[in-house]
Amino acid sequence: MAPTSTPQTPFGRVLTAMVTPFRADGALDLDGAQRLAVHLVDAGNDGLIINGTTGESPTTSDAEKTELVRAVLEAVGDRAHVVAGVGTNDTRHSLELARAAEGVGAHGLLAVTPYYNKPPQEGLLRHFTAIADSTELPVMLYDIPGRSGVPINTETLVRLSEHPRIVANKDAKGDLGRASWAIARSSLAWYSGDDMLNLPLLSVGAIGFVSVVGHVVTPELRAMLDAHINGDVHKATEIHQKLLPVFTGMFRTQGVITTKAALTLQGLPAGPLRLPMVELAPEEIHQLKIDLAAGGVQL
């Protein structure tokens, strides 16, 4: 069984969107994925997002996605929420992924806004509702218009929150005003999906994070969250400011690229990337080391 959920924190508070380790030949590294999952949970994560964008989901097969969820569940499923990314721009395909994830025991689903085809809000409503109707698993929406090309509007979020299994939103919209209104008007548990805005989103009602930098600074994210919950705004702000070089450095280019480089520097499972993602150049690795060191990350 996964850790206990509450309506306020259905997937816990601190989650990392985990990279997918590959072997040198480009094949899926299931042993590495299990070791990385254990490391991240030991560091303080309440949950892991598997097969998200940071997990290079556009370049993994459906079979690999299922294998990966099964492997991570075996490794940490009794200690952490294992949430399977099932978002695509084809509703039928997302339903297949959702049912496969439920079949191997995933604890929840992450559904990103359909990308590129830019559906209208009614299309988004029907898409997410179909996913939520397809299994008995709780669903976290993922609103990231910078990638998907279309936002989930506040009215749509409010309507979606009426579904009993749509329980949370991962917010990477980058708009604190719209987040404030959506949090106030919906029943969704709000997770920051933009590490630079983790603390600001807490201030308007978010309950936790789905992080990329959690690969390297989960204890610090947990400390910042705990300080905020305990009313120690000064301490929370101090931690936020200390982490600014990490937030900046990990997103100088695509986050999965820098994350895999950082994990490799720490001797943790990561492996190569699949095209069209490419590794950092030597000068970029040098800059990443500077950024991480400035934020207190030990390499």
**Joined tokens for residue 242:** 């200390």
Judging by beta carbons within 10 Å of its beta carbon (0-12, 13-18, 19+), is residue 285 exposed, middle or buried?
A: middle
Residue 197 per-residue DSSP state: G
Rounded to whole angstroms, the Cα distance separating 197 from 203 reads 10
Residue 54 per-residue DSSP state: G
CA 289 to chain centre: 23
Q: Which residue has the tokens 């279309």?
A: 150
Judging by beta carbons within 10 Å of its beta carbon (0-12, 13-18, 19+), is residue 209 exposed, middle or buried?
A: buried
Rounded to whole angstroms, the Cα distance separating 67 from 72 reads 9
Q: Which helix (H) or strand (E) holds 111?
A: strand 108-112
Reference 223, options 43, 49, 79; nearest CA is 43
Rounded to whole angstroms, the Cα distance separating 166 from 224 reads 27
Contact 205, 186 (CB under 8 A): no
Return the active site residues.
142, 170
